[in-house]
């Protein structure tokens, strides 16, 4: 090794010396490994041991006086021993240099990993803060909805849900079922001699099924229909039957009723005329002003068709 090349700080340490932590690194395990590696290079001087053993063997053959005289005389060290000592010193220096490089590389990697871990933990802290804020905002929204319902003294029908960080109203789940709207109050009192709404609907549907293309229905079929519905009303109490006053009518009564509508004695009547008579049965006759008001409320084309002129 050339003399002008300055050795690193670690190479200036003596054999077995402790490593000095100049920068005060906070990695105790790495420093401990580095110290143990430096101490491991301390090996016994093989050449000195060999020379001592050789002197001991020669001293055993000579007398003590002569041996003492020879021990006082220092023999010059051989050139080969000097070269071996220099070689060992160079190898130890190389070993210390490589250990220093390994320590520096490991230290750099540890610092790099520490920086990455700090960045990751910083991101985790940011994510936790963001998620906490989002959850708190969602809870505030729920509180606002509940507060508004309390102030309005109303009920919250839809289910309020918080999914992770989102607040939404689940309209598929109802906390309670709204009662059906109240039916309209009857405009006329129920009478035994008048048709009710279900009876009128059933009668009109059956008349339409029996009528032909022109809306004509035979008198015989109309009488049979009314007679059958009267029998059903007496036996089954059918809501779609006839009024109670009609339950005692006979075949002749129904035939007289229907034939009065056949003014031309054609044997058939228009089912709409029969249905209109059943609807207006025992109804008060409207006055002229009432008719005009009714016509004014109808569309123009329908008013022309329904004109009584």
CA atoms of 283 and 269, how far apart (whole Å): 22
The alpha carbon dihedral of 237, 238, 240, 242 has a sign of negative
Residue 91 structure tokens: 């190898």
Task: Give this prediction's pTM.
Answer: 0.38
CA atoms of 130 and 137, how far apart (whole Å): 10
For the 197-305 domain, the top CATH level (class) is mainly alpha
Q: Can you give the pLDDT at residue 243?
A: 86
Domain ranges of the chain: 9-131, 197-305
SS (H, E, C) 268-285: EEEHHHHHHHHHCCCCCC
CA atoms of 215 and 270, how far apart (whole Å): 6
Q: Can you give the pLDDT at residue 51?
A: 59
Burial state string for 155-181 with b = 16 or more CB within 10 A and e = fewer than 16:
eeeeebeeeeeebeeeeeeeeeeeeee
CA separation (Å) from 59 to 29, 48, 50, 51, 248?
A: 50, 17, 14, 12, 159
Q: Are 169 and 146 in contact (CB under 8 A)?
A: no
Q: Can you give the pLDDT at residue 26?
A: 67
Q: Can you give the pLDDT at residue 56?
A: 57
Q: What is the pLDDT along the chain (309 residues), one digit of tens a residue?
A: 444 434 444 444 444 444 444 344 468 888 888 888 888 776 666 556 655 655 555 555 455 445 545 544 455 667 887 888 888 888 888 888 888 888 889 888 988 988 899 999 999 999 999 888 888 888 888 888 888 888 888 888 888 887 777 777 887 777 777 777 777 666 677 788 888 888 888 899 999 998 988 889 999 999 999 888 888 877 766 666 888 888 888 888 888 888 888 888 888 999 999 998 888 888 877 788 877 887 787 776 554 555 544
Torsion of CA 61, 65, 71, 72, to 10 degrees: -160
DSSP helix/strand/coil, 166: strand
Beta-bridged to residue 163, according to DSSP, are 166
DSSP helix/strand/coil, 16: coil
């Amino acid at each position: 090794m050339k003399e002008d090349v300055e050795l690193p700080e670690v190479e200036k340490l003596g054999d077995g010396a402790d490593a000095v932590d100049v920068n005060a690194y906070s990695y105790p395990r790495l420093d401990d490994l580095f110290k143990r590696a430096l101490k491991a290079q301390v090996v016994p001087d093989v050449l000195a041991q060999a020379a001592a053993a050789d002197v001991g063997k020669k001293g055993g053959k000579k007398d003590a006086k002569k041996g003492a005289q020879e021990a006082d005389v220092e023999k010059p060290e051989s050139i080969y021993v000097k070269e071996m000592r220099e070689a060992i010193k160079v190898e130890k220096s190389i070993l210390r240099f490589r250990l220093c490089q390994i320590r520096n590389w490991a230290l750099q990697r540890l610092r790099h990993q520490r920086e990455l871990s700090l960045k990751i933990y910083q991101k985790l802290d940011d994510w936790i803060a963001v998620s906490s804020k989002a959850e708190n905002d969602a809870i505030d929204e729920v509180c606002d909805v509940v507060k508004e319902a309390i102030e309005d003294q109303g009920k919250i029908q839809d289910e309020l849900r918080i999914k992770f960080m989102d607040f939404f109203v689940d309209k598929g789940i109802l906390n309670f079922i709204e009662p059906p709207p109240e039916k309209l109050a009857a405009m006329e009192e129920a009478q035994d001699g008048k048709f009710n709404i279900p009876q009128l609907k059933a009668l009109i549907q059956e008349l339409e099924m029996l009528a032909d293309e022109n809306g004509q229905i035979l008198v015989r079929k109309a009488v049979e229909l009314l007679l059958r519905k009267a029998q059903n009303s007496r036996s089954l109490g059918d809501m779609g039957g006839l009024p109670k006053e009609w339950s005692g009518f006979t075949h002749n009564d129904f035939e007289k009723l229907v034939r009065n509508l056949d003014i031309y004695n054609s044997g058939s009547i228009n089912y709409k005329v029969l249905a209109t008579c059943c609807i207006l049965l025992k109804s008060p006759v409207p006055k002229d002003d009432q008719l005009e008001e009714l016509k004014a409320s109808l569309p123009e084309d329908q008013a022309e068709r329904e004109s009584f002129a």
